[in-house]
Amino acid sequence: MKWFDTGGEAHGFVAVGGMATGVFALGQIAFGVVAVGQGAVGMFAFGQGAIGLVAIGQGSVGLFTVGMVSAGLHACLAMIGIGGRGYGGVVSLTPWLGPASEPPDATSLAAVRDGSEGWVPLDLAADGTEIVGADEPARLDTRCVAAALEHGEGPVFAWLEHGAHGFVATRLMERRPPRWKQGKFWRLWVIQLAGLAGLAGAIWLGVIETLIGVLWSL
């Protein structure tokens, strides 16, 4: 292998040409460990169309990608794209459990009874106008009634205060079950995992095997 080669078809450690293949390749079409070109394929690829483990270009495909239109198996930054994790206008294919639904200052009924106040996980009654789960009378502040009726029966976080007439809920917060307990998210995750597997297969065929062939030919 030449250390440096130029021409229409250049092969060398450093290759510069119309079609360049090398460890460092620069050309209209470039194949290499580091490839720069209008069309570039490499471990690190930079070009209008870039394919590589790390690919940066107007259109890019690989493991880590940046581009206007891009597909990145692990991570992708793009205006329009698809990837394991996405930044920008990217459809993310990695299933996500979502944030914890517990508020940061959740407390207990006993603590509220002793004089503090805070969010307590309770339930709304079937008619949406009563708090269920406290061991003594618990009522809704009039400011919460409309929200309670709209929510209906189910789990909530209630901001409780304790006075002479028992517990009073002055604020309500929706309490959602974990995503893995919601059927619709299982269906979404199946679609995401199928897309991730398809993208992984495409990258294996279009990137990894191509890179192996290029490096083997050096």
27-51 pLDDT, tens digit per residue, is 888 988 899 988 888 889 999 889 8
Q: How far is Cα 114 from Cα 97, in angstroms, rounded to an integer?
A: 35
Domain membership of residue 102 (yes or no) is: no
Domain membership of residue 187 (yes or no) is: no
Domain membership of residue 103 (yes or no) is: no
Domain membership of residue 181 (yes or no) is: no
Q: How far is Cα 134 from Cα 151, in angstroms, rounded to an integer?
A: 19
Q: Which of helix, strand or coil describes residue 100? A: coil
Instruction: Extract the tokens encoding 97.
Output: 């459990």
Q: How far is Cα 26 from Cα 6, in angstroms, rounded to an integer?
A: 10
DSSP string spanning 180-212?
Answer: GG-HHHHHHHHHHHHHHHHHHHHHIIIIIHHHH
DSSP label at residue 148: H
Instruction: Extract the tokens encoding 156.
Output: 């909530």
Q: How far is Cα 166 from Cα 204, in angstroms, rounded to an integer?
A: 64
39 shares a domain with 72: yes
78 shares a domain with 9: yes
207 shares a domain with 125: no
Instruction: Extract the tokens encoding 154.
Output: 């189910």
Domain membership of residue 61 (yes or no) is: yes
The single residue listed with the structure tokens 């790390």 is 54
Provide the number of structural domains found in the chain: 2
38 shares a domain with 13: yes
Which range of 11-15, 134-138, 161-165 scores highest in mean pLDDT? It is 11-15
pLDDT score of 46 = 94
199 shares a domain with 92: yes
**pTM for this model (two decimals):** 0.58
9 shares a domain with 86: yes
Instruction: Extract the tokens encoding 36.
Output: 């720069």
Domain membership of residue 186 (yes or no) is: no
Predicted confidence band of residue 122 (pLDDT cuts 50, 70, 90): confident
Predicted confidence band of residue 77 (pLDDT cuts 50, 70, 90): very high
Beta bridge partners of 157: 121, 173
Predicted confidence band of residue 106 (pLDDT cuts 50, 70, 90): confident
- Give me the domain span that covers residue 153: 109-174
92 shares a domain with 197: yes
197 shares a domain with 152: no
Domain membership of residue 184 (yes or no) is: no
144 shares a domain with 37: no
The single residue listed with the structure tokens 């503090």 is 116
State yes or no: pLDDT of 192 exceeds 90.
no
The single residue listed with the structure tokens 């309670």 is 148
How does the average pLDDT of the chain come out, rounded?
81
Domain membership of residue 60 (yes or no) is: yes
CB neighbours of residue 34 within 10 Å: 19
